[in-house]
């Protein structure tokens, strides 16, 4: 045992907390070292005096404290019961809650149905609607490019012809133009 | 000791299962010691009683979460130590300030057979008042210790917990407890000797 390092071993020894080999080593050291032996005796006396003084019972009215604690627990229980009752009174009755749930589910179903019907009408048939809803796969190519450009040329020709017809069928209202037509005609 | 073999652990489990008589039993058995520990720790009888009641209310409220991992006494003193340390940290010291000086002296003054080594050498054997003063000095010296040292010392000297049980109660190691108690013992002894020298 190192005298300067292990002074706390003496306190632990006085508390009966040194056991086994550590206890044996300390006892051997105390047998050889008069200084530590004297300190050990002093430490034991100090520890014993502290134990006696500090462990002396204090006056406690146990039954009064128990009664007060029971009252506090009862108050706590009443408060918790009151909170639970308030929470229950604010919540709707179970039957009404089911009605509300059913109404919400029906409203949602109706909205989905109307949405699907609108989609069908606007897209002109079931197939686009089914494609939009993901039930059927989308066509790989809606219009081939060659057809598209062919159609574009036809449309341009039609527009031109319509314009020509419009000019031909327009009645001449101008008097001079009418006189010229009669003169050359 | 296996916690499952501690009869008070079994009572705590019974309380968990709704046996309210187990609460009464544990309260009656432990509240005097808990009040004593708190009294030595905070220095006020009224506050000590409040703390003890708070601890048992907390025990009741948290009974569902109780896990029998240690002896009931170690677990209980963990709650008590925490309550006392929290109380010390809080600014609410009105009970202590309001309590008339001398009440603690009267309580400690009734301790029989305090050896000379814990008391001032000037103590007169025929003067009981001087003895009370000396014991009050011990209480004041305990209150002047740092909180962790105070808790460790009181758990050992006042409540008889082993170093291992104190380590559980204070959530620290046994070697730390050994150091705390040694320093507290030396400080206390030196302070009392100094007071004795001053009063001589």
Residues 6+ apart with CB under 8 A from B123: B116, B130, B131, B134, B196
Element (H, E) at A164: helix A145-169
Is residue B105 over pLDDT 60?
no
Residue (of B160, B114, B172) closest to B138 by Cα position: B114
Q: Could A62 and B27 be called an inter-chain contact, meaning their C-beta atoms sit closer than 8 Å?
A: yes
Tokens representing B46 are 């009224």
Residue (of A53, A10, A19, A46) closest to B162 by Cα position: A19
Backbone angles phi, psi at A103, to 5 degrees: -65, -45
Measured in angstroms, the CA of A21 and the nearest CA of chain B are apart by 16
For the segment B41-92, what is each residue's pLDDT rounded down to a tens digit?
A: 998 899 999 999 999 999 999 999 898 888 899 999 999 999 999 998 885 5
Name the average pLDDT for chain A: 78
Tokens representing A110 are 């109706």
Q: What pLDDT band is residue A138 in, cutting at 50, 70 and 90?
A: confident
* Res B173: pLDDT: 96
* Res B125: pLDDT: 39
* Res A77: pLDDT: 77
Measured in angstroms, the CA of B14 and the nearest CA of chain A are apart by 18
For the segment A11-52, what is each residue's pLDDT rounded down to a tens digit?
A: 999 999 999 999 999 999 999 999 899 999 999 999 998 898
Among the partner-chain residues A15, A51, A66, the one whose CB lies closest to the CB of B27 is A66
Q: What percent of chain B has pLDDT over 70?
A: 74
B62 touches chain A (CB under 8 A): no
Tell me how crowded residue B19 is: count the other CB atoms within 10 A of its CB: 14
Chain B residue with minimum CA distance to A52: B114
Tell me how crowded residue A58 is: count the other CB atoms within 10 A of its CB: 19
Residue (of B32, B89, B186) closest to A65 by Cα position: B32
Q: Could B61 and A46 be called an inter-chain contact, meaning their C-beta atoms sit closer than 8 Å?
A: no
Q: Which site among A41, A53, A67 would you substitute to test the B interface, given the most B Cβ atoms closer than 10 Å to its Cβ?
A: A53
ipTM here: 0.75
Q: Could A56 and B110 be called an inter-chain contact, meaning their C-beta atoms sit closer than 8 Å?
A: yes
- Chain B residues within 8 A of A66 when measuring between CB atoms: 24, 27-28, 31
B56 touches chain A (CB under 8 A): yes
Among the partner-chain residues A11, A52, A68, the one whose CB lies closest to the CB of B114 is A52
Among the partner-chain residues A47, A52, A72, the one whose CB lies closest to the CB of B111 is A52
The residue ranking higher by pLDDT, B144 or A163, is: B144
Q: What percent of chain A has pLDDT over 90?
A: 24
* Res B122: pLDDT: 36
Q: Which of A13-17, A122-126, B128-132 has the highest mean pLDDT?
A: A13-17
Is residue B29 over pLDDT 90?
yes
Q: Could B27 and A60 be called an inter-chain contact, meaning their C-beta atoms sit closer than 8 Å?
A: no
d(CA B11, CA B25) in angstroms, rounded, equals 8
| Lowest pLDDT segment from A73-77, A150-154, B12-16 | A150-154
Q: Could A69 and B154 be called an inter-chain contact, meaning their C-beta atoms sit closer than 8 Å?
A: no
- Reduce the DSSP state of residue B18 to 3 states and report it: coil
Please say whether the beta carbons of B138 and B127 come within 8 A: no
B188 touches chain A (CB under 8 A): yes
- Chain B residues within 8 A of A7 when measuring between CB atoms: 182, 186
Measured in angstroms, the CA of A90 and the nearest CA of chain B are apart by 26
* Res B177: pLDDT: 96
Q: Which of A70-74, B133-137, B189-193 has the highest mean pLDDT?
A: A70-74
Q: What pLDDT band is residue B106 in, cutting at 50, 70 and 90?
A: very low
The residue ranking higher by pLDDT, B30 or A7, is: B30
- Chain B residues within 8 A of A22 when measuring between CB atoms: none
What single string gives the DSSP state of each residue in B90-154? SS--HHHHHSPTTHHHHHHHT-----GGGS-TT--TT-HHHHHHHHHHHHHHHHTS-HHHHHHHH
For the segment B134-147, what is each residue's pLDDT rounded down to a tens digit?
A: 667 788 889 999 99
> What value does the mean pLDDT take over residues A56-66?
91
Q: What pLDDT band is residue B185 in, cutting at 50, 70 and 90?
A: very high
């Amino acid at each position: 045992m190192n005298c300067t390092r292990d002074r706390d071993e003496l306190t632990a020894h006085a508390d009966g907390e040194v056991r086994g080999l550590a206890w044996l080593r300390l006892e051997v050291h105390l047998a050889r070292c008069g200084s530590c032996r004297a300190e050990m005796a002093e430490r034991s006396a100090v520890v014993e005096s502290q134990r006696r003084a500090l462990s002396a019972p204090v006056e406690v009215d146990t039954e009064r404290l128990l009664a007060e604690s029971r009252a506090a627990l009862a108050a706590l229980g009443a408060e918790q019961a009151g909170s639970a009752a308030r929470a229950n009174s604010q919540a709707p009755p179970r039957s009404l809650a089911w009605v509300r749930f059913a109404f919400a589910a029906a409203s949602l179903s109706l909205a989905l149905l109307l949405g699907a019907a609108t989609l069908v009408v606007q897209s002109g048939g079931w197939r686009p609607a089914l494609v939009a809803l993901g039930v059927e796969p989308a066509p790989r190519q809606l219009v081939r490019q060659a057809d598209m450009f062919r159609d574009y040329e036809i449309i341009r020709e039609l527009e031109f012809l319509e314009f020509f017809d419009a000019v031909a069928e327009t009645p001449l209202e101008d008097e001079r133009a009418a006189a010229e037509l009669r003169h050359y005609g | 000791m296996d916690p499952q073999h501690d009869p008070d652990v079994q009572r705590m489990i019974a309380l968990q299962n709704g046996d309210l008589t187990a609460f009464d039993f544990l309260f009656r058995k432990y509240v005097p010691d808990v009040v004593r520990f708190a009294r030595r720790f905070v220095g006020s009888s009224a506050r000590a009683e409040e703390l003890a009641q708070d601890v048992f209310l907390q025990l009741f409220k948290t009974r569902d979460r109780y896990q029998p991992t240690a002896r009931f006494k170690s677990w209980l003193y963990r709650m008590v130590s925490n309550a006392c340390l929290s109380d010390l940290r809080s600014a609410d010291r009105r009970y202590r300030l309001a309590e008339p000086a001398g009440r603690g002296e009267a309580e400690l003054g009734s301790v029989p057979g305090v050896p000379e080594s814990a008391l001032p050498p000037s103590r007169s054997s025929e003067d009981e008042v001087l003895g009370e003063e000396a014991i009050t000095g011990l209480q004041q010296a305990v209150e002047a210790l740092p909180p962790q040292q105070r808790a460790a010392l009181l758990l050992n000297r006042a409540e008889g917990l082993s170093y291992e049980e104190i380590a559980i109660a204070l959530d620290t190691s046994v070697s730390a407890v050994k150091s705390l108690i040694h320093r507290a013992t030396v400080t206390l002894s030196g302070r009392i000797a100094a007071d004795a020298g001053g009063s001589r």
